[in-house]
């Protein structure tokens, strides 16, 4: 079953597919990833087991050095301006970074768990505990044939904690890429040389304040403008922006689970505003009610929080619970799971785009690499460093040109930017290191 074939058709919507340099895109480095559930063998011992599921990358393409040390750091960074969504407001980030080291190489990962469990059940503190106590010990001293073997090792008999698992898994991909002297984008099978960027605007106190933010975002060049909404700050706010920016502006709304199915008649008022999509209107773990809501809306529903695995993405498609998927690699457990979702959505004709979680420049690098895959056909929430921070933790910082494009550093190893160790040291509020 397909998603109903209704790809977003907003006027002037840029796609990633037309963005590469002239010439044929390079062939993907990996084989297609199927929706095979990893077969959890008996025993809970660390290390990869046989029959752990499909292989995302031919291991010979990127062997993983033996993991000798895993460093955890919590850094605290002030946001340039507070960010408000329906479930809370934040003015700074407490970001958990992980660094895997082995055989003279290193790989960095960023955990996207929030300070509070108001987006998913995880938080900076639960992820710290999960990584230190249960997950990191499974990788230490191990030799994996490739980074695609890391997810099954982390997932076996550990339920949930996707963001904690992803921080390690994505660091392992980065380590494999750096050890091989290749870019992460290339290793994942990315094809785009540059990506269209969208911005996510927090809830404002008045429609006029939101109009001012949206106008500034358009001036800056953003190619998609996402407006956070909640009951009481929705239709009037979005309508004001539509009137000011005009019928061509690529607008969407994100409710972060603030509505109930009974609100369907109210949400249907958004239909006349020609949004590209409405993101996660109903509960964070719901599919069935989203399917009913989608039947009552013309606007495509895009799911974020509800898509926690390839299986949930397949369920969304089978149920008609949405027509677009926001892929956040941290939310689904890392790159292997993201690749599986990307591939199954591509087969079903469902477009995907890369969401953001107010990452530092490290997480942004992972997202940029992933978003260069071919079915990422809508602009991602990939704002440049300047939108969030006075100063980022990578060198050079992530930049966006005046037309709303960000370059994929395909010619440089790993995420393609240098991690600024002294900057991180200065921002660190907690540190731990585990050795094999
Ligand atoms: O729902 O996409 C979301 C940030 C925190 C929690 C949830 C979300 C977001 C964003 C931020 O929208 C997007 C960005 O990183 O710029
Ligand atoms: Mg969202």
- DSSP string for 238-280: HHHHHHHH-TTS-EEEE-TT---GGGHHHHGGGGGG--S-EE-
CA distances from 307 to 129, 160, 197, 237 (A): 24, 13, 22, 27
What residues are in contact with ligand 1 under a 6 Å CB criterion? 85, 119, 200, 254, 256, 304, 355-358, 381, 383
Catalytic: 226? no
Structure tokens at 150: 């890391």
Ligand nearest to the CA of 356: 1
- Residue 122 CB contacts under 8 Å (≥ 6 apart), including other chains: 113, 114, 160, 161, 162, 163, 164
Q: Are 340 and 348 in contact (CB under 8 A)?
A: no
Q: How far is the CA of 283 from the centre of ligand 2 (A)?
A: 12
**Per-residue confidence (pLDDT) for residue 61, from 0 to 100:** 66
**Measured between alpha carbons, how far is 353 from 198 in angstroms, rounded to an integer?**
10
Burial of residue 364 (CB within 10 Å: 0-12, 13-18, 19+) is buried
Q: Are 287 and 316 in contact (CB under 8 A)?
A: yes
Structure tokens at 354: 């890369």
E strands, 361-436, in order:
394-395, 405-407, 418-419, 428-435
Ligand nearest to the CA of 303: 2
**Per-residue confidence (pLDDT) for residue 127, from 0 to 100:** 98
Q: Whose CA is nearest to atom 4 of ligand 1?
A: 357
What is the value of pTM for the model shown?
Answer: 0.89
Nearest alpha-carbon partner for 240 in 216, 214, 219, 205: 214
**Per-residue confidence (pLDDT) for residue 62, from 0 to 100:** 83
Burial of residue 165 (CB within 10 Å: 0-12, 13-18, 19+) is buried
* H/E run at residue 224: strand 224-228
Catalytic: 328? yes
Domains of the chain: 67-180+421-435 (3.30.390.10), 187-415 (3.20.20.120)
Q: How far is the CA of 8 from the centre of ligand 2 (A)?
A: 17
**Per-residue confidence (pLDDT) for residue 91, from 0 to 100:** 97
Q: Would you write out the chain's pLDDT as a tens digit for each of its 436 residues?
A: 333 334 444 434 444 444 333 333 444 455 554 443 333 333 333 333 333 334 444 444 688 999 999 999 999 999 999 999 999 999 999 999 999 999 999 999 999 999 999 999 999 999 999 999 999 999 999 999 999 999 999 999 999 999 999 999 999 999 999 999 999 999 999 999 999 999 999 999 999 999 999 999 999 999 999 999 999 999 999 999 999 999 999 999 999 999 999 999 999 999 999 999 999 999 999 999 999 999 999 999 999 999 999 999 999 999 999 999 999 999 999 999 999 999 999 999 999 999 999 999 999 999 999 999 999 999 999 999 999 999 999 999 999 999 999 999 999 999 999 999 999 999 999 999 999 9
Helices (H), 77-183: 124-130, 136-139, 150-155, 162-180
Sign of CA dihedral 300, 306, 309, 311: negative
Q: Which of 165, 224, 226, 328 is catalytic?
A: 328
**Per-residue confidence (pLDDT) for residue 6, from 0 to 100:** 42
Q: How far is the CA of 281 from the centre of ligand 2 (A)?
A: 9
Q: Whose CA is nearest to atom 9 of ligand 1?
A: 357
Ligand 1 atom closest to residue 256's alpha carbon, by position in its atom list: 1
């Amino acid at each position: 079953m397909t998603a109903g074939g209704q790809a977003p058709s907003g006027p002037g919507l840029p796609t990633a597919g037309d963005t590469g340099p002239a010439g044929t895109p390079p062939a993907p480095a990996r084989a297609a990833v199927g929706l095979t559930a990893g077969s959890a063998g008996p025993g809970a011992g660390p290390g990869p087991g046989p029959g752990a599921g499909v292989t995302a990358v031919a291991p010979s393409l990127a062997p993983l050095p033996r993991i000798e040390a895993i460093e955890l750091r919590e850094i605290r960074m002030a946001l340039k301006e507070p960010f408000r969504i329906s479930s809370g407001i934040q003015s700074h980030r407490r970001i958990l970074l992980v660094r895997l080291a082995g055989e003279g190489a290193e790989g960095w990962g960023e955990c996207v768990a929030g300070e509070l469990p108001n987006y998913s059940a995880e938080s900076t503190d639960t992820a710290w505990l999960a990584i230190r106590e249960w997950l990191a010990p499974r990788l230490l001293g191990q030799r994996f044939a490739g980074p695609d073997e890391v997810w099954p090792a982390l997932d076996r008999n550990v339920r949930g904690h996707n963001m904690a698992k992803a921080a390690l898994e994505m660091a392992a991909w980065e380590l494999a890429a750096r050890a091989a002297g290749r870019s992460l984008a290339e290793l994942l099978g990315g094809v785009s040389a540059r990506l269209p960027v969208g911005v996510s605007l927090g809830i404002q106190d008045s429609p006029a304040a939101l109009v001012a933010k949206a106008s500034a975002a358009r001036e800056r060049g953003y190619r998609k403008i996402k407006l956070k909404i909640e009951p009481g700050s929705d239709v009037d706010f979005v309508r004001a922006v539509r009137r000011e920016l005009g019928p061509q502006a690529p607008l969407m709304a994100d409710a972060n689970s603030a509505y109930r199915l009974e609100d369907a008649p109210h949400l249907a008022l958004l239909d006349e505003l020609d949004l590209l999509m409405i993101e996660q209107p109903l509960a964070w773990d719901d599919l069935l009610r989203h399917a009913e809501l989608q039947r009552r809306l013309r606007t495509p529903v895009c799911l974020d929080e509800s898509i926690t695995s390839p299986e949930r993405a397949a369920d969304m498609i089978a149920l008609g619970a949405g027509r677009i998927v926001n892929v956040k690699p941290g939310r689904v457990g890392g790159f292997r799971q993201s690749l599986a979702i990307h591939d199954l959505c591509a087969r079903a004709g469902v477009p995907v785009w890369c969401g953001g979680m107010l990452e530092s420049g490290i997480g942004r690098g992972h997202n940029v690499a992933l978003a260069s895959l071919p079915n990422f056909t809508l602009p991602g929430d990939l704002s440049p460093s300047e939108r969030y921070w006075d100063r980022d933790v990578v060198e050079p910082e992530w930049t966006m040109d005046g037309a709303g494009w960000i370059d994929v550093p395909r010619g440089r190893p790993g995420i393609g930017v240098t991690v600024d160790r002294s900057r991180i040291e200065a921002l660190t509020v907690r540190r731990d290191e585990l050795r094999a």
